[in-house]
Structures are given as C-alpha cells and as structure tokens.
C-alpha cells in the first residue's frame, strides 16, 4: 500500500485524505510517498507512479516466492548476499548509504565466500573476538566500544535480513551479546561555561557561529538539522522540522523563544561548516573535550532541571525511544529532591 507521511507529526495516512488524520495538517506541494512492506514503511520518493511500481513489484515478488520454480536459491555466499541483497536494501532505506560501507567490507573479508547457511556460532565468535581486538590504522589504538557495538549491530542486521528473505532459517547471532558501553554519561554546560562559550563565539571570525550555537542551545537541534534548516520551516513562532531532515525520520515541532526569533530573522547561513571554529572557541573558553552535540545535551539537561516532564523532553528532542530520554531522569529527580528539601 502506498501511503503519505505527514511532515508535521510524522504519521502515515492514505492517499485519499488530503489532511493528516492525526494532526489535521495539509500536505505540501511536494509529497513524500512510502510503501508499506509487511510491518515496515519504505521511503519511495516523491513520485506516485514510481511508488506504485515499487508496490506492484513487491506484490509480484511475494507471489513468485510461493512458486517453487521462482524461489531464490538458498545457497549463497556471505559476500554475495551482502553485494546482491543487503547493501542495496540498506542504501534504499538510509539517507547515508556510505555509513556502513567500510564495516561491510570488513565483514566480507572475515567471512569471505563461506555459504551463509553454513556460518556457525563459532565463526561469529571469531569475528566478534577480532572486532574486540581490532586496532585503528595509523594510531594503533583499539576501536572505541561504541564503534565495536556498531560493527556487531550491523552484522546482526545482515543475518536478520537473510531470515526475512528466507536464505536462512535461524540467525547464528541469536545469543551473541552486544558490546556494553556507558552511553548515559552526558556532558552539558554550566551557567558559567555557557557564558564563556558564548563570549568567545561573539569574538570568532565565523559570521554564523554565535547564531548556530545559540540555536543548538535553545532548540536542541542536531548539527545536520541545523544545516538543513530553511526559512519555510519557521512559522507561527515554531520550527517545523520535516521528517526528511531528522534522524528518526519523523517530523517534530519546536517552539522558539523571543530572542531565538530575532536570530532567525537575520540572514540564513547555517549550512556553513563551523566545526573548526567551534573547536577553537571551546579551547579558548576552557571547556576541554566538548563536542557540538553536547549543546543538545545541555538543552535536554536544562529542560529536566526546570522540571519539564520527560515525555515532553522526548518530543522536543525528537527521541525515537523513551530510553534515550532517561539519561536526563537523574536531573529531574534531583530537582524534585531539592523541592522537597525546601519544605
């Protein structure tokens, strides 16, 4: 079935409805079409004709898969499966298809031409052990735990997709544990650190650095969302981020305060690369290893400290899972403790 995704709330609705069933928003001139394949929604572009052709092909493939003469051969090597099936599937569903290209190259080098049906738990354990001891080229350091986790997660996705296409019956990674790392430690600015940072940003030679940092601090937008921000996304005192530029693929609405409106009324130029300028001002402000993404953590932390409910923080930051928002829960509970102590 071909569906439309609402640019405001991110919900899917039928072609027959011109207004979103959830929020009542009207579809824009350029529609984003999605094809429902089982329980998944695959982005098919802005052409209704192409979207319907994709839907027809899926239905035909599903019908032919039940006919013995047309069934796909179940004996295929791991490398061939990635090249012919997984990589095209990944590239069609992700905005950054090159993000795992180096990981897939590494995995193909490990499991080579071994038939995917003959890969055992012992083979997987050997790959996982190699990932844990793999060193980065040039520096000789071990990969970060988060990077190791990304490698194992990608390998798991390969086998899950092989099950979906009926090349294997069971994944050899069923009981392989993910790499455990503490991703709940967040770095956020204190009031004094923020004042020092903004002071250095004003002195910077970059014409947009101060405005970009202010937007990140008071809207919680990611760097990619800031670069993709257009003037038509701002109306009625809100920023309406369409699903095409957010990480989760779902649109969200961010209310903006008066002083942020003044920043947005100026000239747009947020697509400029401010990475080097930001690192330089962080050093001058004495912030140490502070990342641009930590400005987003500062936004979430300030909301929690102000007593904003976690669900509201989740919606404002565009988290796909409440577990991501829980990293700010201790700040919220600390404020509740301080409130009780005041009594």
Instruction: Find the CATH number of the domain harbouring 245.
Output: 1.10.443.10
pLDDT of residue 193: 92
Is 210 inside any structural domain?
yes
Domain final residue, candidates 22, 43, 67: 67
Answer whether residue 197 shows pLDDT above 90.
yes
d(CA 235, CA 215): 16
On whether residue 96 sits in a domain, the answer given is: yes
User: Within a domain: residue 279?
Assistant: yes
Residues 197 and 338 reside in one and the same domain:
yes
In a domain, residue 176? The reply is no
Checking if the pLDDT of 95 tops 80, the result is: no
Please check whether residues 129 and 197 belong to one and the same domain: no
What is the 8-class DSSP label of residue 97?
G
Lowest-pLDDT range of 92-106, 123-137, 164-178, 258-272: 258-272
147 and 123 together in one domain: yes
Residue that finishes a domain, picked among 34, 67, 100:
67
Q: Is residue 172 part of a domain?
A: no
Q: Which DSSP string corresponds to 141-178?
A: PBPPHHHHHHHHHHHHHHHHHHHHTTS-SS-TTTTPPP
- Residue 208 has what pLDDT? 84
pTM of structure: 0.54
Range of the domain at 153: 78-164
Do 239 and 304 fall into the same domain?
A: yes
Which DSSP string do the residues of 241-299 spell out, in sequence order? E-TTTSSSS--EEEE--HHHHHHHTS---TTS--HHHHHHHHHHTT--S--THHHHHHH
User: CA 31: distance to chain centroid?
Assistant: 22
* 299 and 319 belong to one structural domain: yes
Domain-ending residue, one of 39, 67, 95:
67
* Tokens (6 digits) for 226: 């800031």
How do residues 18-76 score in pLDDT, each as one tens digit? 777 777 777 766 677 788 776 677 777 778 888 888 888 777 776 666 655 445 556 78
Higher pLDDT, residue 23 or 176: 176
Give the residue with greater pLDDT, 27 vs 116: 116
- Is residue 334 in some structural domain? yes
Residue 183 has pLDDT above 60, yes or no: no
Which helix (H) or strand (E) segment holds residue 76: the answer is none
> In this structure, are 226 and 140 located in the same domain?
no
Residue 15 CB coordination number (10 Å): 15
Residue 195 has pLDDT above 90, yes or no: yes
**Which residue from 106, 115, 110, 121 is spatially nearest to 80, judged by alpha carbons?**
115
CA angle 61, 65, 69 (to 5 degrees): 115
Based on the fold, state whether residues 113 and 82 are members of the same structural domain: yes
Do 253 and 297 contact (CB within 8 A), yes or no?
Answer: no
**How many beta carbons lie within 10 A of that of residue 11, not counting itself?**
17
Could you say which DSSP state residue 8 is in?
T
Asked if residue 88 and residue 217 are part of one domain, the reply reads no
Residue 171 lies in a domain: no
- Same domain flag for 200 and 141: no
Kindly state whether residues 55 and 195 are assigned to the same domain: no
Q: What is the pLDDT of residues 285-335, one digit of tens each?
A: 998 878 888 999 999 989 988 888 888 888 888 888 787 888 887 777 666
**Which pLDDT band holds residue 264 (cuts at 50, 70, 90)?**
confident
- Return the pLDDT at 174: 83
Please indicate, yes or no, whether residues 112 and 8 belong to a single structural domain of this protein: no
Domain for residue 173, yes or no?
A: no
In terms of domains, do 214 and 278 share one? yes
How many domains are there within the chain?
Answer: 3
């Amino acid at each position: 079935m071909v569906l439309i995704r609402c640019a405001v709330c991110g919900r899917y609705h039928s072609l027959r409805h011109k207004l979103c069933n959830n929020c009542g928003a009207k579809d824009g001139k350029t529609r984003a079409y999605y094809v429902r394949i089982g329980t998944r929604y695959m982005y098919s572009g802005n052409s209704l004709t192409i979207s319907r052709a994709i839907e027809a092909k899926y239905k035909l493939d599903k019908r032919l898969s039940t006919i013995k003469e047309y069934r796909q051969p179940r004996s295929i090597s791991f490398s061939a499966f990635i090249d012919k099936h997984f990589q095209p599937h990944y590239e069609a569903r992700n905005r950054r298809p090159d993000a795992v290209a180096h990981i897939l190259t590494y995995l193909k080098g490990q499991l080579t031409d071994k038939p995917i049906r003959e890969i055992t738990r012992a083979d997987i354990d050997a790959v996982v052990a190699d990932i844990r001891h793999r060193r980065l080229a040039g520096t000789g350091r071990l990969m970060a735990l988060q990077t190791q986790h990304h490698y194992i997660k990608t390998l798991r996705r390969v086998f899950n997709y092989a099950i979906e296409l009926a090349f294997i019956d069971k994944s050899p990674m069923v009981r392989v544990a993910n790499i455990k790392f503490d991703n709940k430690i967040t770095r956020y600015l204190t009031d004094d650190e923020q004042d020092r940072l903004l002071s250095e940003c004003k002195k910077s030679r970059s014409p947009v650095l101060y405005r970009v940092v202010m937007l990140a601090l008071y809207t919680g937008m990611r760097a990619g969302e800031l670069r993709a921000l257009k003037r038509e996304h701002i109306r009625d005192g809100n920023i309406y981020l369409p699903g095409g530029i957010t990480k989760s693929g779902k649109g969200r609405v961010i209310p903006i305060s008066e002083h942020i409106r003044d920043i947005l009324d100026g000239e747009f130029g947020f697509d400029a690369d401010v990475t080097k300028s930001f690192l330089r001002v962080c050093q001058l402000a004495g912030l140490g290893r502070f990342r641009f993404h930590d400005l987003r953590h500062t936004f979430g932390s300030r909301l929690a400290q102000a007593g904003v409910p976690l669900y509201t923080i989740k919606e404002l930051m565009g988290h796909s899972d409440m577990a991501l928002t829980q990293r700010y829960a201790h700040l919220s509970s600390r404020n509740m403790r301080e409130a009780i102590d005041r009594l």
